[in-house]
Amino acid sequence: MSTTQSTSTSADTVRITGFFSGRSELVVTALLLVLATALSIGTATMNVMGDTVPGPQFFPTIVCVLLYALAVAHGISVLRTRRFPQGADSSNPDFSAEMLAEMGDTERAEVFGSSSERPRRTGRVRMYSDWKTIGWIVGGIAAFILMLPVLGWIISAAGLFWVICKAFGSARPLFDLGVSFTVSSISYLAFGVGLGLSLPAGFLGGLL
Amino acid sequence: MDQLNHLMEGFAGALTLANLMWVLIGALLGTAVGVLPGLGSSMAVALLLPVTFSLDPTAAFIMFAGIYFGGMFGDSTAGILLNTPGASSAIATTFEGHKMAKSGQAARALATAAMGAFIGGLIATTLVVFFAPSLVKLATAFGPAEYFALAIFAFVAISSVVSESIIKGLSALAIGLVLALIGVDGISGTVRYTSGLPQLFDGLSIVVITVGLLALGEVLHVASRVHRDPSAMRIPTSGRIRLSGADFRKALPAWLRGTAFGLPFGVIPAGGAEIPTFLAYGTEKRLAAKRKDPEFGTTGSINGVAAPEAAGNATAGMAMGALLALGLPVSATAALMIAAFQQYGMQPGPLLFERSGDMVWTLLASLFVGLVMLLIINMQFAGLWAKLLLVPRHYLYAGITVLSMLGVYAVSSSLIDLWFLLAIGLLGFMMRRYHFPVAPVLIAVILGPLAETSLRRALTVSEGSLAYLVSSPATIIMYLLLTAAVVLTMVKHAASRRRLRAEAQVLQDS
C-alpha cells in the first residue's frame, strides 16, 4: 500500500510486455467485426416479405460493407500505434480539438485541457480503467434488475443507490442507507403514485 | 401577419396555470441537471425524457422546452465556478468566465452568461416564429432524393467533419445504423435482426439507447477513473447577482455578435453549439487584442463570456426551428427531442405544423415563457444554484443510475429493456474509453430509418437509376458542400497528425 501512495500523482505506469500492450483498443475492432458478421448472417438468412425493389436487404448490405471496411481501417490504425492513456482526460471526441482551437484562436491544449502527466515506465502497473469499481456498478445493476420484480422498487432502488455510493468511495455507509431509502421512497411516491408510472411494489405491495 | 396570430393563440394555450407550472418545473430541473458538475444539457434531456411520457403531449413538450433551455443556462455555471464545463458547448464561456471567477467577479460572470443566454435564445426563438413557415414551405418541396441528401449530410458532417477522428466517427455512425435497423422494416413488413425476440419487433427503444449511451455510459466512465483522478476546486459565490449599466453597455455588442454566430448553426447539422461558441470567443479575443483590452485573458473580460453564451443559446433556439420544420436534428440533444416526438407518434417535419399546429405554437410560446422564467431564476438565485456544486459525486452518480433505471422501466415496464440498457451503457463506456464520439450514434439512430426509406423510395421512383439521387440543384449543392468539407478536414487532420507525431513524447522517463 505505502509504496503506491508515495507516488502521489495519478500518472499511470506502463510497460510493453506483449502484443496487446497499448493495443487494448482492438476490442473495438473485434466488436465492429462481430457486428458486421452478425449483420451479414442476419441479412443472408432474412425471411423477406413482399417484393419491393430495393428490398429490406438493400440498406443493411451497404451498412455491412461499411462496417467491414471500418473494422479493417480501425484495426490497422490500432496496430500501427500503441497508445497509453495518461491521467485525467476531459476531451470530447465529438469535436476535433484542433478545429475548435483554430476557430477560438486558442491553443489546442487549452480546448479540453491537457494532462501534464505522462505515463511512466517504473512503478506498479495497473489498468487504466478501474475495473473493480466498474464491476461493483455493473454487478449492482444486474442484481437490481434480477431483484426488481421480487423486492419491488423501493428496496431494490435503495440497494442500487447504496451500492453505487459505496463503489464511488463514500465513507459513510449508514448515512448512505438513509439517503438511499429516502431517494427510492420519494421517487416511488413522485413517479409511481404521483405521475402514475408503473413501478413494481414487490412483496411490500401486499402490506401497503 | 399569420404567424403573430398563431403565436398569440399559442400564448393563450401556454399561459394556463398548469402549463406555466410545467415550464417552471422543466426550467428548474433543466438548470439543476445542467449546473451539477460534469453533467450537461444533453444529459438533462436524456434523463428527464422518459419521465415526461406519462404526461399529455402538450404538457410534456412544454416541460421539455424548459429542460432544453434550462440545461443550456445551467451548463455555464459549473464551467465558471469549477472550470469543469458540463457540456463542450460551455467550454468557450469557461475560458474567460473562470478567469473572472478567480479574480473575484464570479457573480458578474454568471449574470453576463445568464443575460447572454437569454438574449441569444430570445432572438433565435423570434426568428423561428417568423421563418418556420418558410422552412416548412421549403421542406414540402423536398422529395426522397433531397431527404436522403440531407440525412447523408448530417451523417457525414457530424461523424467526420467536426469529430476528432474520421474512422472513429464513421464507426460510431455505423453502430448507430445497425441499432436503427433492428425491428420490423416499415416498407416491406419484414422482421429484421430481432434474433426471434418479440420485444424487438418495434425496434430497440430510442429511450434505452439514449439513456444508456449518455447517462449510464457516463456513470461507468466516471467510475472507471473516480479513484484515480483528483477532483476540481470550487470557487464560492453567494447572494444575488446583477449587472451594472456600464457592464450592460459593454456586453451588449458582444451578445449580439455571439447571437449572429449562433443563428446559422441552428440549421446546419454540425453537432450543435460548439463551433459557434468557439467562433464567437475567437472573435472577441481578436477584437480585444485590437482594442488592447487589458482584462481579456488576465482577470477575465465580460465580452468573452457574453458572446459564446449568446451564441450557444441562439443555436439551441434555431435548432428547435430546424427540428420542428424540417425534422432535422443538428446535434445529439436535438436528436433526443425528435425521439420524444416519435414516442408520441408524431414526426417532426413539414406535416407537424398542419397536423398538430396548436401544439407547435403552444410549444413556441412556452419557449418565450421559459426564457423569461430562466432569466429570473438564474439572476435571482445564482448563489443557490451554485450550492448544487456541493452535492457529493457519489450521490450524484447513484442518483443518475437510479433515475436511468426508473425512466427506462417506466416507459415499457419490461425487464428486458433494463438488460438492453445495461448493454448499451457498457457500449457507451467502451466508446468513451477509446475516444469514440457518441453523437453520431444518436444521429444515426434517429435519421437512419429516414435515410433508408428515402433512399429506397428514390430508387423505386427512378427504377434503380442512381443519377436520380443527384438530379436536383439542392442535392448537388449539398453533396458538393459535403465533399469540400470532407476534403478540407482530411487535409487538416493529416497535417495535425504529422505535427503531433513529431512532438510526441510517449513515456515520462525515457
What the block records as the C-alpha cell of A27 is 476490442
CB contacts < 8 A, A to B, total 290
B460 and A CB contact within 8 Å: yes
Q: Kindly state whether residue A187 falls inside one of the protein's structural domains.
A: yes
List the one residue out of B468, B57, B40, B478 whose CA is nearest residue B267. Answer: B478
Q: Is residue A174 included in any domain, yes or no?
A: yes
B401 touches chain A (CB under 8 A): yes
User: How is residue A35 written as a grid cell?
Assistant: 457486428
* Residue among B225, B433, B509 minimizing CB distance to A122: B509
Closest of B116, B133, B479 to residue B284, by C-alpha = B116
Q: CB distance A134–B395 less than 8 Å? A: no
Residues of B in contact with A58 (CB under 8 A): 455-456, 459
From chain B, the residues in CB contact with A97 under 8 A are 164
For A93, the closest of B165, B216, B464 (CB atoms) is B165
Asked if B309 reaches chain A (Cβ–Cβ under 8 Å), the answer is no
Q: Where are the beta strands (DSSP E) in B52-211?
A: 183-184, 191-192
Alpha helices for B233-390 (secondary structure H): 245-265, 274-291, 302-326, 332-343, 350-355, 357-380, 382-387
Q: Does the distance separating the beta carbons of B189 and A100 come in below 8 Å? A: no
- Contact A161/B398, CB-based, under 8 Å? yes
Grid coordinates in use for B459?
430508387
State which of A6-10, A45-49, B219-223 shows the largest mean pLDDT. B219-223
Coil, helix or strand at residue A22: coil
Q: Which of B297, B263, B304, B250 is nearest to B280 (CA)?
A: B304
User: Looking at CA atoms only, how far is residue A206 from chain B in angstroms?
Assistant: 20
Domain spans in chain B, listed from the N-terminal domain onward: 2-497
Question: Residue A8: pLDDT above 70?
Answer: no
Q: Clarify whether residues A92 and A136 are in a common domain.
A: no
Same domain, A96 and A18: yes
CA atoms within 13 A on the CB side of A12: 21
pLDDT in single tens digits along all 510 residues of chain B? 688 888 999 998 888 999 899 999 999 998 998 888 778 778 888 888 887 777 888 888 888 888 888 888 888 888 888 888 878 888 999 999 999 988 888 888 999 999 999 999 999 999 999 988 888 888 888 899 999 999 999 999 999 998 989 999 999 999 999 999 999 998 888 999 998 888 899 899 888 999 999 999 999 999 998 888 776 666 666 555 678 888 999 999 999 999 999 999 998 888 888 999 999 999 999 999 998 888 888 888 999 999 999 999 999 999 988 888 888 888 888 888 888 888 888 888 888 888 888 888 999 999 999 999 999 988 888 778 888 888 888 999 999 999 999 989 988 889 999 999 999 999 999 999 999 999 999 999 999 999 999 999 999 989 888 899 998 999 999 999 999 999 999 998 888 888 877 776 656 555
∠ CA A9-A89-B389, nearest 5°, is 90
Whether residue A100 sits in one domain with residue A47: yes
CB B207 within 8 A of CB A116: no
Domain boundary among A67, A83, A112: A112
B430 min Cα distance to partner chain A (Å): 8
Domain assignment of residue A125, yes or no: no
Task: Report the alpha-carbon distance of residue A112 to residue A114 in Å, rounded.
Answer: 7
| A121 domain-assigned | no
Q: Can you say whether residue B78 is alpha, beta or left, with left for phi > 0 and alpha for psi between -120 and 50 degrees?
A: alpha
- Read off the DSSP letter of residue B389: G
Question: A interface mutation test: which of B395, B397, B432 has the most A CBs within 10 A?
Answer: B395
> Can you give the residue range of the structural domain that contains A151?
131-207
* Residue A74 neighbours by CB under 8 Å, 6+ apart: A28, A29, A32, B167, B168, B171
Per residue in A18-43, pLDDT (tens digit) is 888 889 999 999 999 999 999 999 99
Predicted local distance difference test score (pLDDT) of residue A93: 86
Q: B507–A25: do the CB atoms touch at under 8 Å?
A: no
The C-alpha cell that represents A205 in the structure block: 405491495
Give the long-range contacts of residues B337-346, CB within 8 A, separation 24 or more.
Answer: B337/B45, B337/B64, B337/B68, B338/B446, B339/B49, B339/B206, B339/B207, B339/B210, B339/B446, B340/B49, B340/B52, B340/B60, B340/B61, B340/B64, B341/B61, B342/B206, B343/B53, B343/B206, B343/B207, B343/B411, B344/B53, B344/B57, B344/B60, B346/B57
Same-domain check for residues A101 and A19:
yes
Whole-number Å distance between alpha carbons of B205 and B410? 12
Structural domain includes residue A43: yes
B332 contacts in A (CB within 8 Å)? 94
Q: Give B-chain residues touching A117 at CB under 8 angstroms.
A: 508
Contact of B140 with chain A, judged by CB distance below 8 Å, is answered with: no
> Is B40 within 8 Å of B197 (Cβ atoms)?
no
A108 and A59 together in one domain:
yes
Q: Which candidate from A56, A98, A110 shows the least CB-CB separation from B192?
A: A56
Name the domain count of chain A: 2
My answer on whether A192 and A152 are in the same domain is: yes
Report helix, strand and coil shares of chain B as percent, to nearest 5.
75, 0, 25
Chain A hits for B227, CB-CB cut-off 8 Å, are 130, 133, 169
Question: Do both A40 and A68 map to the same domain?
Answer: yes
Q: How far B134 CA lies from chain A's nearest CA (Å)?
A: 31
In DSSP terms, B191 is beta-bridged to B184
Statement to judge: residues A59 and A153 lie in one domain: no
Contact B274 A100 (CB under 8 A): yes
Let me know whether A19 and A96 are in one domain. yes
Backbone phi, then psi, for B196, in 5-degree steps?
Answer: 80, 0
Residues 6+ apart with CB under 8 A from B118: B313, B371, B372, B374, B375
Is A56 in contact with B507 (Cβ distance < 8 A)?
no
Which chain A residues touch B275 with a CB distance below 8 Å?
95, 99-100, 103
CB A99 within 8 A of CB B493: no
Treating both helix axes as pointing N-terminal to C-terminal, what angle do B302-326 and B91-102 enclose, rounded to 10 degrees? 150
**B229 and chain A in contact, CB less than 8 A:** yes
Check A100 against B171: CB less than 8 A apart.
no
Handedness of CA B70, B72, B73, B77 (dihedral sign): positive
Contact B86, B34 (CB under 8 A): yes
Which of residues A112, A145, A162 is at a domain's end?
A112
All residues at 6 or more sequence positions from A72 whose CB lies less than 8 Å from its CB, including other chains:
none
Do A18 and A67 lie in one domain? The reply is: yes
